[in-house]
Structure 1
Amino acid sequence: MSETRHPRPRRRRPLRTAVGFLVLLAVIGYFAVQRDSNGGAGAPYCTATGGADSRQKYEMTPEQAANAATIAAVGIAKGLPERAVTIALATAMQESSLRNLDHGDRDSLGLFQQRPSQGWGTPEQITDPVYSAGIFYDHLVDVPGYSRLPLTVAAQKVQRSGYPQAYAKHEPDATVLTSAFGGGGVLFCSGPAPLRGDPEEVRAELVRAFGKQALGAPAGSPGGAPDGTTGRAGVPEPEINLRLERDGGPDEARRGRAMAHWAVARSHELGIARVSYGDGGWTGGRARGKWQPKGGAGTSGAGDAHDAADGEVRIFVAR
């Protein structure tokens, strides 16, 4: 008996795979274009770059950016070098991915996964980013020659981790973040413009992170914008005007940059609408979240009225 031979169906799996891959690329491209074309009003995200000529960048959520800003602020307020900030950031990136965790191995908690049972503090203290960063730095500076040690060695002498080499992979990104907050880099955050913030809360958080010297001498009437600038519907926006010390040198310039970028990093959380410092300004919900030059589109919408003078940082809170 003869058999009827049916031709084998052609295999279309490679074609389907290719089509599926192209569709995925199209979807990714669509959302990338949407994110870049909507003025920064899409899903919030933050980007740190290592400098004007640097191609290095690190993207993160607003939560991660806020925690990174706090870690950098505490180190700068203590007068510690950039190396210390880089070590702290790389450690937190490994231990918690820059998230303030309420859990961990055994009783480990917080950004640095510090343990109450090992004398790091109470659970409430350890889950306070300002406290946890501060006590990490206190232990770090007790390590002889920490700034000259490899990052893994310095971090391990503080953390006593079971995986000390894991810190090394975060050093490049931690270096970018350090530069963004206090060096020649930049940090910007996109997303919708905040609807409301409390200027007193912003002042209190500035003092917690940078110390009492953060507020400096006010340059206008307290609680309001001294130049009479207005926000939505002609309502004055409360301003926090931070004066830097005259002739403070590089350290004071570093502190000014850190406070300006701290404000951008915490804008979603604290309702900060605009920041002006040096030769540029940042406005929530505009210009894809990027810093703009003085008087440029997307800074204040009110011309040079919102540009900071030399030696000051101006923070405007939405209301």
Structure 2
Amino acid sequence: MACCLGAVVFADSRAATTPTDPAPTNLIAERAASAERQPASRATERAPAPTTPPPTPSATPTATPTTRPTVARTKVAKVKKKPTRPVPVAGLTQAQMDNAHTIVQVGLKMDIPRRGLVVAIATAMQESNLYNLASGVLPESLDYPNQGVGYDHDSVGLFQQRPSSGWGTVADLMRPAYAAEQFYAALLQIPGWQDMSITGAAQAVQISAFPDAYAQHEDRATTVVGALV
């Protein structure tokens, strides 16, 4: 810009010395101002600096499906659940088998030997056919859960135990677990019961009018105990 201004001043000075073209005194100043407003000769027309275009909004990115590793499936052996109720054997009904199960479970909790379990089952088979019986002589017994009615004096329950003989209250004896516990407790009081026959051990507890009747149930009682133990 300085060189341009110098050229303007030089031209003005020549004009000032020419007598035929007098210039106004302020001409130099006006031309200098005009030149100052002109772009420098070396300044080329510059394009505006490129601006980075704003990023184009993209669609919502979709998740690229990933291939999951294939896992070999191994077959898991199905464990058969033990039935909650014992399966009847020896020709028993489900109700009879349930009662037998109760008798055996009580015996196991009392650490009664296997032979004692057979004695108990054979006794209940003879006395009540393995049903929890109320007594027609004791109307009170009918107020408790029962599976039939017997008429052998005031005998009640699986073992046909008599409240009048001191086995317990009607309410207690109508509970199969209690009746079984009382039977085992009496059996343990018999000296040498394990060396007796099944019918002999049962008779020692029950004092029945038919002492040999229990023998007929020994085989079935053994089968039932075998299925429950």
What's the TM-score, normalizing by structure 2? 0.55
The residue identity in structure 1 corresponding to 2:101 is: A
Cα distance in 2 for residues equivalent to 1:93 and 1:148: 21
Determine the structure 1 residue equivalent to 2:88.
47
The residue identity in structure 2 corresponding to 1:157 is: A
The residue identity in structure 1 corresponding to 2:212 is: Q
What's the TM-score, normalizing by structure 1? 0.40
2:134 match: secondary structure: coil
Determine the structure 1 residue equivalent to 2:204.
157
Q: CA deviation at 1:47?
A: 2.9
The one of 97, 109, 113 aligned to 2:129: 97
Alignment of 1:69-88 (within 5 A): 69-88=101-120
Determine the structure 1 residue equivalent to 2:169.
122
2:212 match: secondary structure: helix
Cα distance in 2 for residues equivalent to 1:145 and 1:83: 12
Q: CA deviation at 1:88?
A: 0.2
Determine the structure 2 residue equivalent to 1:209.
none
Q: CA deviation at 1:134?
A: 0.2
Cα distance in 2 for residues equivalent to 1:151 and 1:175: 10
Cα distance in 2 for residues equivalent to 1:177 and 1:60: 9
Cα distance in 1 for residues equivalent to 2:117 and 2:87: 19
Instruction: Establish whether residue 134 from structure 1 lines up as the match of residue 181 from structure 2.
Output: yes
Structure 2 gap segments, 5+ residues each:
1-85, 136-150
Contact 2:88 2:94 in 1 (8 A): no
1:47 match: secondary structure: coil
Cα distance in 2 for residues equivalent to 1:149 and 1:117: 28
Cα distance in 2 for residues equivalent to 1:117 and 1:169: 28
Contact 1:68 1:177 in 2 (8 A): yes
Q: CA deviation at 1:61?
A: 1.3
Alignment of 1:161-180 (within 5 A): 161-180=208-227
Instruction: Establish whether residue 146 from structure 1 lines up as the match of residue 193 from structure 2.
Output: yes
Cα distance in 1 for residues equivalent to 2:87 and 2:92: 5
Contact 1:102 1:110 in 2 (8 A): yes
1:59 match: secondary structure: coil
Q: CA deviation at 1:46?
A: 4.2
Structure 1 gap segments, 5+ residues each:
1-44, 49-57, 183-319
Contact 1:46 1:60 in 2 (8 A): no
1:144 match: secondary structure: coil
Aligned length: 130
Moved >3 Å (runs of 4+): none
Cα distance in 2 for residues equivalent to 1:80 and 1:60: 23
Larger strand proportion of the pair: 1
The superposition leaves residues 252-285 of structure 1 with CA deviations (integer Å, 9 ceiling, x where unpaired) of xxxxxxxxxxxxxxxxxxxxxxxxxxxxxxxxxx
Larger Rg: 2
Cα distance in 2 for residues equivalent to 1:47 and 1:62: 6
The superposition leaves residues 103-162 of structure 1 with CA deviations (integer Å, 9 ceiling, x where unpaired) of 231100000000000000001111100000000000001101111101111111100100
Cα distance in 2 for residues equivalent to 1:60 and 1:80: 23
Cα distance in 2 for residues equivalent to 1:133 and 1:126: 9
Cα distance in 2 for residues equivalent to 1:47 and 1:158: 27
The residue identity in structure 2 corresponding to 1:59 is: G
Percent identity between the two aligned chains: 47
Cα distance in 2 for residues equivalent to 1:137 and 1:115: 16
Q: CA deviation at 1:76?
A: 0.5
